[in-house]
Amino acid sequence: MLVHEFGHFAVAKLLGVRVEQFAIGFGTRLFGFRKGDTDYRINALPFGGYVKMAGETPMDERSGDPGEFLSHPRWQRFLIAIAGPVMNILLAIGLLTGVYMVHYEHPAYLDQHAVVGWVEHGSPAEKQGVQPGDRLVQIDGVQNPTWEQVEVKQLLSANQPLGFAVERGGQEIQGSIVPVATGNSEAGSAGWFPVEPVIIGDLESGMPAAQAGLKPGDKIISMGGQTVPSIQAMIERLQQTQGKPVEVLVERGGKQLSFSLAPVLADTPGTAERHYRLGFKNSYETSVAQLSFVDALGRSIQDNKRYSLVLLELLGKLVQRKASLNTVSGPIGIAEQTGAAAEEKGWIPLLALSAAISLNLGIFNLLPIPIMDGGVILLLFIEGLMRRDISIQIKERIYQAAFVFLVLFAALVVYNDIAKTIAQRLP
């Protein structure tokens, strides 16, 4: 938020607009200093911040002073309004570029062609006749998708039909599938999964995997004498065997080791349900590299562009009521994600999350909602077409209605965050 407000501040100062306050937080002023016309201050409520420009809103008293925001030509007001979101987007690109130069890591399967390795029993994919070995050649208009593209499409399409086509034995089979909503976030899942090795990540103390001596990095080769094509296949088989001991063959340091484990019925993170579990977090097989500055910048721009399009698609589905509000995280959800990232080793997870948050803020502020930067830009565009300013009275009503909308929306998002948090902790 600081870099966002600095964007507004810097361009406003550059164009000669009088900035009265540059604030971090809201509410009562705690401390700060004054330099020139500007009061640089820290406020009591540590949420976001703002830049207060003279004559910025229709409700402000106007004297016609050339230093007032509304006294400046529309193109200058446009530059001031768009500077904040642009700074957010540039920060996201810069952070990811730095991360990728140090450690570019991502699950290897995401870049692969979408070849189905496992189909969940009773899932929409099974009901549509999808089989292991099928290759997805089209989904929702995307030709020859990677697994990352497939996952994004199904995640945003809970309870909504998705057109798809698979290739099997040289023949193309078309169909339509309706992903089901899963977990507290109600993300869509079709029930098809890639071939991905199951690798032990974090172990839960007191659970069967830790007690039996499994270690992070162990690669599971088979369970009960059957190969394990994905973590989802393993989870489904555990529900079938329930608490009966199973033989698990793992690879560790080039050697194969066998363990006998008895699954236990336990809470499942992220859901309110209980499942038979061994007690470990799956760790994906990853592709790791250190990119040059040029390659890192290119990859960062490409990833931020893709994330932006996904975010806009999600917003569109929310407006059309084709996606659940549970897919959106507010301040509580963001705080939980930040805490989880901070617990991971090194600064990279936290920097990557910061880049995502900055990008989200930049895109959100560009929405055509009055009071938001996008709303200011929209009104400037309308005034440009009219070749005259919208009356102060009309602007006042627009801003008042927008303020009420944003307060209600913020309250809904916070309530949704609280409800999801409570649901995760219920037995």
Q: Residue 55's pLDDT is what?
A: 79
Say which DSSP state 390 is in.
Answer: P
| Tokens found for residue 117 | 């390795």
5 is catalytic: yes
The residue type found at 236 is: E
What CA–CA distance (Å, rounded) separates 28 from 43?
5
Q: 334 pLDDT exceeds 70?
A: no
In the three-class reduction of DSSP (H, G, I as helix; E, B as strand; rest coil), residue 13 is classed as helix
Cα separations (Å) of 353 from 92, 300, 338, 340, 360?
9, 13, 7, 10, 11
Q: Residue 330's pLDDT is what?
A: 56
What CA–CA distance (Å, rounded) separates 77 from 70?
8
Which residue reads 């698979």 in tokens? 166
Q: What is the mean pLDDT of residues 375-380?
A: 90
Q: 287 pLDDT exceeds 90?
A: no
Which residue reads 């930067």 in tokens? 373
Q: pLDDT band at 143, cuts 50/70/90?
A: very high
Residues of the chain with CATH 2.30.42.10: 110-194, 198-282
Q: Residue 167's pLDDT is what?
A: 93
Of 58-72, 210-224, 237-251, 257-271, give the lowest mean pLDDT range.
58-72
374 phi and psi, to 5 degrees? -65, -35
Q: Residue 110's pLDDT is what?
A: 79
Q: 7 pLDDT exceeds 70?
A: yes
Q: What is the mean pLDDT of residues 370-397?
A: 85
Name the nearest CA neighbour of 118 among 130, 137, 132: 132
> Which of 2.30.42.10, 3.40.640.10, 2.40.30.10, 3.30.420.40 would CATH assign to domain 198-282?
2.30.42.10
Q: Please list the residues that pair with 264 across neighbouring strands.
A: 277
> Out of 5, 56, 196, 236, which one is annotated catalytic?
5
Do residues 159 and 93 make contact, with C-beta atoms less than 8 angstroms apart?
A: no
Task: Quick: pLDDT tens for 385-398.
Answer: 888 888 878 888 88
What CA–CA distance (Å, rounded) separates 234 from 230?
7
Q: 86 pLDDT exceeds 90?
A: yes
Q: 83 pLDDT exceeds 50?
A: yes
Q: Residue 416's pLDDT is what?
A: 66
Q: What is the mean pLDDT of residues 144-167?
A: 89
What CA–CA distance (Å, rounded) separates 106 from 412?
34
What CA–CA distance (Å, rounded) separates 5 from 38?
14
User: Hey, what CATH topology would domain 110-194 get?
Assistant: Pdz3 Domain (2.30.42)
Q: Residue 181's pLDDT is what?
A: 84
Q: What is the mean pLDDT of residues 355-368?
A: 88
| Tokens found for residue 222 | 């088979």
Say which DSSP state 25 is in.
Answer: E
Pairing status of strand 180-182 against strand 38-53: unpaired
Between 383 and 58, the more confident residue is 383
Q: 345 pLDDT exceeds 70?
A: no
Q: pLDDT band at 187, cuts 50/70/90?
A: confident
Q: Residue 204's pLDDT is what?
A: 87
Greatest alpha-carbon pair distance for the chain in Å reads 82
In the three-class reduction of DSSP (H, G, I as helix; E, B as strand; rest coil), residue 220 is classed as strand
Q: What is the mean pLDDT of residues 246-272?
A: 85
Q: What is the mean pLDDT of residues 50-69?
A: 78
> What average pLDDT does the structure give for the chain?
84
Q: pLDDT band at 371, cuts 50/70/90?
A: confident
Neighbour tally for 189: CB within 10 Å: 21
Of 90-94, 130-134, 401-405, give the lowest mean pLDDT range.
401-405
Q: Residue 427's pLDDT is what?
A: 46
Q: Residue 89's pLDDT is what?
A: 94
Q: Residue 44's pLDDT is what?
A: 85
Do residues 69 and 17 make contact, with C-beta atoms less than 8 angstroms apart?
A: yes
User: Which percentage of the chain shows pLDDT scores above 90?
Assistant: 25
Highest mean pLDDT among 185-194, 299-308, 338-347: 299-308
Of 16-20, 84-88, 137-141, 238-242, give the lowest mean pLDDT range.
238-242
Q: pLDDT band at 285, cuts 50/70/90?
A: confident
Pairing status of strand 116-119 against strand 142-143: unpaired
